[in-house]
Structure 1
Protein backbone atom coordinates (compact mmCIF):
# COMPACT_ATOMS: atom_id res chain seq x y z
CA UNK A 1 0.00 0.00 0.00
CA UNK A 2 1.42 3.37 -0.99
CA UNK A 3 1.12 6.37 1.26
CA UNK A 4 -0.47 9.33 -0.52
CA UNK A 5 1.72 12.37 -1.07
CA UNK A 6 1.09 15.33 1.16
CA UNK A 7 0.26 18.16 -1.24
CA UNK A 8 0.79 21.85 -0.50
CA UNK A 9 -1.53 23.97 -2.62
CA UNK A 10 -0.25 27.42 -3.55
CA UNK A 11 -2.98 29.91 -4.43
CA UNK A 12 -1.45 32.57 -6.66
CA UNK A 13 -2.83 35.46 -8.73
CA UNK A 14 -2.56 34.42 -12.40
CA UNK A 15 -0.51 31.97 -14.45
CA UNK A 16 2.70 33.61 -15.66
CA UNK A 17 3.49 34.43 -19.27
CA UNK A 18 7.12 33.64 -18.41
CA UNK A 19 8.55 30.40 -17.01
CA UNK A 20 7.57 31.29 -13.44
CA UNK A 21 10.83 29.67 -12.34
CA UNK A 22 11.50 32.10 -9.45
CA UNK A 23 8.04 31.59 -8.03
CA UNK A 24 8.24 27.80 -8.35
CA UNK A 25 11.63 27.73 -6.58
CA UNK A 26 10.23 29.76 -3.70
CA UNK A 27 7.22 27.45 -3.46
CA UNK A 28 9.51 24.40 -3.42
CA UNK A 29 11.37 25.95 -0.50
CA UNK A 30 8.09 26.58 1.34
CA UNK A 31 7.12 22.96 0.64
CA UNK A 32 10.37 21.74 2.22
CA UNK A 33 10.03 24.03 5.25
CA UNK A 34 6.44 22.93 5.86
CA UNK A 35 7.12 19.23 5.31
CA UNK A 36 5.06 18.45 2.20
CA UNK A 37 6.02 16.11 -0.64
CA UNK A 38 4.60 18.07 -3.57
CA UNK A 39 3.40 21.55 -4.54
CA UNK A 40 0.36 22.19 -6.71
CA UNK A 41 -0.59 25.65 -7.98
CA UNK A 42 -3.95 27.26 -8.71
CA UNK A 43 -4.72 30.89 -9.50
CA UNK A 44 -7.52 33.19 -8.42
CA UNK A 45 -7.73 34.23 -12.10
CA UNK A 46 -6.67 31.45 -14.44
CA UNK A 47 -5.73 33.76 -17.32
CA UNK A 48 -1.99 34.23 -18.01
CA UNK A 49 -0.65 37.73 -17.40
CA UNK A 50 2.85 39.18 -17.41
CA UNK A 51 2.31 40.89 -14.06
CA UNK A 52 -0.58 40.99 -11.64
CA UNK A 53 -1.60 44.39 -13.04
CA UNK A 54 -2.61 42.41 -16.14
CA UNK A 55 -5.65 41.32 -14.15
CA UNK A 56 -7.19 44.72 -14.87
CA UNK A 57 -7.61 43.75 -18.52
CA UNK A 58 -7.83 39.96 -18.24
CA UNK A 59 -10.38 40.14 -15.43
CA UNK A 60 -12.63 42.96 -16.63
CA UNK A 61 -15.52 40.51 -17.14
CA UNK A 62 -16.85 38.18 -14.44
CA UNK A 63 -16.67 34.98 -16.52
CA UNK A 64 -12.92 34.26 -16.21
CA UNK A 65 -13.14 34.64 -12.45
CA UNK A 66 -16.07 32.26 -12.22
CA UNK A 67 -14.39 29.83 -14.61
CA UNK A 68 -11.34 29.77 -12.32
CA UNK A 69 -13.32 28.52 -9.31
CA UNK A 70 -13.63 24.81 -10.19
CA UNK A 71 -9.82 24.41 -10.38
CA UNK A 72 -9.45 26.17 -7.03
CA UNK A 73 -12.10 23.95 -5.43
CA UNK A 74 -10.53 20.82 -6.91
CA UNK A 75 -7.10 21.88 -5.62
CA UNK A 76 -8.51 22.55 -2.15
CA UNK A 77 -10.24 19.16 -2.14
CA UNK A 78 -6.98 17.36 -2.99
CA UNK A 79 -4.50 19.23 -0.79
CA UNK A 80 -3.25 18.80 2.75
CA UNK A 81 -2.22 22.42 3.30
CA UNK A 82 -2.46 25.80 1.61
CA UNK A 83 0.00 28.63 1.13
CA UNK A 84 -1.52 31.92 0.02
CA UNK A 85 0.48 33.95 -2.47
CA UNK A 86 -1.93 35.90 -4.66
CA UNK A 87 -0.26 39.19 -3.82
CA UNK A 88 -1.31 42.51 -2.35
CA UNK A 89 -2.11 44.48 -5.51
CA UNK A 90 -5.71 44.67 -6.63
CA UNK A 91 -6.64 45.30 -10.25
CA UNK A 92 -8.40 48.52 -11.14
CA UNK A 93 -11.61 49.25 -13.02
CA UNK A 94 -14.33 46.60 -13.25
CA UNK A 95 -11.80 43.85 -12.45
CA UNK A 96 -11.40 45.20 -8.90
CA UNK A 97 -14.93 44.23 -7.92
CA UNK A 98 -14.56 40.80 -9.52
CA UNK A 99 -11.23 40.31 -7.73
CA UNK A 100 -12.75 41.22 -4.36
CA UNK A 101 -15.68 38.87 -4.98
CA UNK A 102 -13.20 36.11 -5.87
CA UNK A 103 -11.13 36.64 -2.72
CA UNK A 104 -14.30 36.67 -0.58
CA UNK A 105 -15.39 33.44 -2.26
CA UNK A 106 -11.91 31.93 -1.71
CA UNK A 107 -11.96 32.73 2.01
CA UNK A 108 -15.40 31.11 2.24
CA UNK A 109 -13.96 28.00 0.60
CA UNK A 110 -10.99 28.01 2.99
CA UNK A 111 -13.31 28.28 6.00
CA UNK A 112 -15.21 25.21 4.80
CA UNK A 113 -12.12 23.00 4.97
CA UNK A 114 -9.72 21.85 7.64
CA UNK A 115 -6.43 22.22 5.78
CA UNK A 116 -3.84 24.38 7.54
CA UNK A 117 -3.07 27.68 5.82
CA UNK A 118 0.15 29.69 5.70
CA UNK A 119 1.01 33.11 4.33
CA UNK A 120 3.87 35.56 4.26
CA UNK A 121 1.99 38.49 5.78
CA UNK A 122 -1.63 39.39 5.12
CA UNK A 123 -2.67 40.30 2.57
CA UNK A 124 -0.48 37.49 1.31
CA UNK A 125 2.70 38.39 -0.53
CA UNK A 126 3.42 36.74 -3.85
CA UNK A 127 6.36 34.27 -3.63
CA UNK A 128 8.37 36.40 -6.07
CA UNK A 129 8.36 39.11 -3.37
CA UNK A 130 9.29 36.91 -0.42
CA UNK A 131 13.04 37.47 -0.79
CA UNK A 132 12.64 41.25 -0.71
CA UNK A 133 10.57 41.03 2.47
CA UNK A 134 12.94 38.64 4.22
CA UNK A 135 15.97 40.74 3.28
CA UNK A 136 14.32 43.83 4.80
CA UNK A 137 13.40 41.83 7.94
CA UNK A 138 16.87 40.40 8.56
CA UNK A 139 19.49 41.92 6.23
CA UNK A 140 22.33 39.61 5.30
CA UNK A 141 20.58 36.42 6.42
CA UNK A 142 20.06 33.24 4.45
CA UNK A 143 16.72 33.45 2.64
CA UNK A 144 15.60 29.92 3.59
CA UNK A 145 16.30 30.55 7.29
CA UNK A 146 14.29 33.76 7.35
CA UNK A 147 11.47 32.35 5.21
CA UNK A 148 10.87 29.73 7.86
CA UNK A 149 10.19 32.55 10.36
CA UNK A 150 7.90 34.68 8.16
CA UNK A 151 5.82 31.88 6.60
CA UNK A 152 3.11 32.07 9.25
CA UNK A 153 -0.01 30.04 9.95
CA UNK A 154 -3.27 31.82 9.20
CA UNK A 155 -6.06 31.49 11.71
CA UNK A 156 -9.57 31.76 10.33
CA UNK A 157 -11.68 33.80 12.74
CA UNK A 158 -15.30 34.31 11.78
CA UNK A 159 -15.42 36.66 8.81
CA UNK A 160 -11.82 37.81 9.15
CA UNK A 161 -8.42 36.18 9.14
CA UNK A 162 -5.08 37.04 10.62
CA UNK A 163 -1.59 35.70 10.62
CA UNK A 164 -0.71 34.15 13.95
CA UNK A 165 2.79 34.87 15.21
CA UNK A 166 4.49 32.54 17.62
CA UNK A 167 3.88 33.98 21.09
CA UNK A 168 7.35 32.85 22.19
CA UNK A 169 9.11 35.10 19.67
Structure 2
Protein backbone atom coordinates (compact mmCIF):
# COMPACT_ATOMS: atom_id res chain seq x y z
CA UNK A 1 0.00 0.00 0.00
CA UNK A 2 2.88 2.40 0.65
CA UNK A 3 4.13 1.88 -2.90
CA UNK A 4 0.65 2.54 -4.31
CA UNK A 5 0.30 5.76 -2.32
CA UNK A 6 3.89 6.90 -2.89
CA UNK A 7 4.44 6.99 0.87
CA UNK A 8 7.78 6.76 2.61
CA UNK A 9 8.11 3.95 5.16
CA UNK A 10 9.83 5.02 8.36
CA UNK A 11 11.30 2.83 11.10
CA UNK A 12 12.31 4.17 14.52
CA UNK A 13 14.86 1.81 16.06
CA UNK A 14 15.73 1.50 19.71
CA UNK A 15 13.20 3.19 21.98
CA UNK A 16 11.87 1.49 25.07
CA UNK A 17 8.70 3.42 25.78
CA UNK A 18 7.26 4.29 29.19
CA UNK A 19 10.17 2.69 31.03
CA UNK A 20 9.66 4.53 34.32
CA UNK A 21 6.33 3.14 35.47
CA UNK A 22 5.54 5.85 38.05
CA UNK A 23 5.82 8.61 35.43
CA UNK A 24 3.73 6.61 32.96
CA UNK A 25 1.05 5.95 35.58
CA UNK A 26 0.97 9.58 36.77
CA UNK A 27 1.33 11.42 33.45
CA UNK A 28 0.47 8.84 30.79
CA UNK A 29 2.29 7.66 27.66
CA UNK A 30 4.85 9.78 25.83
CA UNK A 31 5.60 11.84 28.94
CA UNK A 32 9.38 11.51 29.01
CA UNK A 33 9.90 8.18 30.75
CA UNK A 34 11.57 6.54 27.75
CA UNK A 35 15.06 5.09 27.38
CA UNK A 36 17.14 3.71 24.52
CA UNK A 37 18.58 0.27 24.02
CA UNK A 38 21.40 -1.16 21.94
CA UNK A 39 19.74 -4.57 22.02
CA UNK A 40 18.09 -4.41 18.61
CA UNK A 41 18.65 -6.81 15.72
CA UNK A 42 18.23 -4.27 12.92
CA UNK A 43 19.56 -6.21 9.95
CA UNK A 44 17.88 -9.47 10.98
CA UNK A 45 14.56 -7.79 11.65
CA UNK A 46 14.53 -5.89 8.35
CA UNK A 47 16.00 -8.60 6.09
CA UNK A 48 12.69 -9.89 4.73
CA UNK A 49 11.09 -6.44 4.45
CA UNK A 50 14.00 -4.77 2.62
CA UNK A 51 14.41 -7.65 0.17
CA UNK A 52 10.67 -8.05 -0.41
CA UNK A 53 10.09 -4.36 -1.17
CA UNK A 54 13.49 -3.55 -2.67
CA UNK A 55 13.24 -0.27 -4.59
CA UNK A 56 9.44 0.00 -4.46
CA UNK A 57 9.41 3.06 -2.18
CA UNK A 58 11.68 5.13 0.03
CA UNK A 59 12.48 3.79 3.48
CA UNK A 60 13.98 5.88 6.28
CA UNK A 61 15.50 4.23 9.35
CA UNK A 62 16.05 6.40 12.44
CA UNK A 63 18.39 5.25 15.20
CA UNK A 64 17.85 6.26 18.78
CA UNK A 65 21.30 4.96 19.72
CA UNK A 66 24.30 6.20 17.70
CA UNK A 67 25.88 2.73 17.89
CA UNK A 68 23.28 1.70 15.29
CA UNK A 69 24.56 4.15 12.67
CA UNK A 70 27.03 1.64 11.14
CA UNK A 71 24.33 -0.95 10.52
CA UNK A 72 21.83 1.53 9.10
CA UNK A 73 24.45 3.31 6.97
CA UNK A 74 25.58 0.03 5.42
CA UNK A 75 21.95 -1.00 4.78
CA UNK A 76 21.52 2.32 2.95
CA UNK A 77 24.58 1.53 0.82
CA UNK A 78 23.21 -1.90 -0.10
CA UNK A 79 19.63 -0.71 -0.74
CA UNK A 80 19.53 2.65 -2.59
CA UNK A 81 15.92 3.27 -1.49
CA UNK A 82 16.94 3.04 2.19
CA UNK A 83 17.96 6.27 3.92
CA UNK A 84 19.69 6.90 7.23
CA UNK A 85 17.20 9.07 9.08
CA UNK A 86 18.38 12.28 10.72
CA UNK A 87 19.61 12.38 14.31
CA UNK A 88 16.53 11.68 16.34
CA UNK A 89 15.12 12.07 19.83
CA UNK A 90 18.02 12.07 22.32
CA UNK A 91 20.43 12.91 19.48
CA UNK A 92 18.44 15.90 18.22
CA UNK A 93 20.94 18.49 19.42
CA UNK A 94 23.80 20.33 17.69
CA UNK A 95 26.32 17.77 19.01
CA UNK A 96 24.14 14.79 18.05
CA UNK A 97 23.30 16.15 14.61
CA UNK A 98 26.92 16.95 13.78
CA UNK A 99 28.11 13.54 15.02
CA UNK A 100 25.43 11.89 12.90
CA UNK A 101 26.25 13.87 9.75
CA UNK A 102 30.00 13.30 10.19
CA UNK A 103 29.47 9.56 10.51
CA UNK A 104 26.99 9.22 7.67
CA UNK A 105 29.29 11.30 5.45
CA UNK A 106 32.18 8.90 6.04
CA UNK A 107 30.23 5.74 5.22
CA UNK A 108 27.90 7.03 2.52
CA UNK A 109 27.52 10.25 0.59
CA UNK A 110 26.38 13.11 2.78
CA UNK A 111 24.36 14.35 -0.19
CA UNK A 112 22.28 11.17 0.13
CA UNK A 113 21.05 12.22 3.57
CA UNK A 114 17.29 12.63 3.65
CA UNK A 115 17.68 15.92 5.50
CA UNK A 116 15.64 16.97 8.50
CA UNK A 117 12.04 16.14 9.28
CA UNK A 118 10.04 16.64 12.42
CA UNK A 119 7.11 15.01 14.08
CA UNK A 120 7.29 17.64 16.78
CA UNK A 121 4.07 18.50 18.46
CA UNK A 122 5.78 21.57 19.87
CA UNK A 123 4.84 24.06 17.20
CA UNK A 124 6.89 26.86 18.75
CA UNK A 125 10.10 24.82 18.41
CA UNK A 126 9.38 23.53 14.92
CA UNK A 127 11.29 26.23 12.98
CA UNK A 128 14.16 26.37 15.46
CA UNK A 129 14.79 22.62 15.10
CA UNK A 130 15.22 23.00 11.34
CA UNK A 131 17.44 26.02 11.87
CA UNK A 132 19.57 24.00 14.30
CA UNK A 133 19.86 21.25 11.68
CA UNK A 134 20.88 23.69 8.94
CA UNK A 135 23.51 25.30 11.19
CA UNK A 136 24.88 21.90 12.20
CA UNK A 137 25.03 20.86 8.54
CA UNK A 138 26.90 24.10 7.74
CA UNK A 139 29.37 23.38 10.57
CA UNK A 140 30.08 19.87 9.25
CA UNK A 141 30.49 21.07 5.67
CA UNK A 142 32.60 24.04 6.80
CA UNK A 143 35.00 21.71 8.62
CA UNK A 144 35.23 19.51 5.51
CA UNK A 145 36.03 22.56 3.38
CA UNK A 146 38.63 23.84 5.85
CA UNK A 147 40.33 20.41 5.89
CA UNK A 148 40.42 20.42 2.10
CA UNK A 149 38.12 17.39 1.84
CA UNK A 150 35.40 19.15 -0.14
CA UNK A 151 35.61 22.18 -2.43
CA UNK A 152 33.46 25.15 -1.39
CA UNK A 153 31.28 24.90 -4.52
CA UNK A 154 30.48 21.25 -3.78
CA UNK A 155 29.76 22.06 -0.11
CA UNK A 156 27.23 24.70 -1.21
CA UNK A 157 25.53 22.18 -3.49
CA UNK A 158 25.46 19.53 -0.74
CA UNK A 159 23.99 22.04 1.74
CA UNK A 160 21.18 22.88 -0.66
CA UNK A 161 20.63 19.21 -1.53
CA UNK A 162 20.44 18.03 2.09
CA UNK A 163 18.50 20.99 3.47
CA UNK A 164 15.92 21.20 0.68
CA UNK A 165 16.04 18.86 -2.33
CA UNK A 166 16.50 15.48 -0.62
CA UNK A 167 13.70 15.94 1.94
CA UNK A 168 11.33 16.86 -0.89
CA UNK A 169 12.41 13.77 -2.81
CA UNK A 170 12.46 11.25 0.04
CA UNK A 171 9.32 12.38 1.84
CA UNK A 172 7.40 13.40 -1.30
CA UNK A 173 6.81 17.00 -0.15
Please indicate, yes or no, whether the TM-score normalized by the shorter chain is above 0.5.
no
More helix by share: 2
More strand by share: 1
Give TM-score scaled by structure 1 length.
0.36
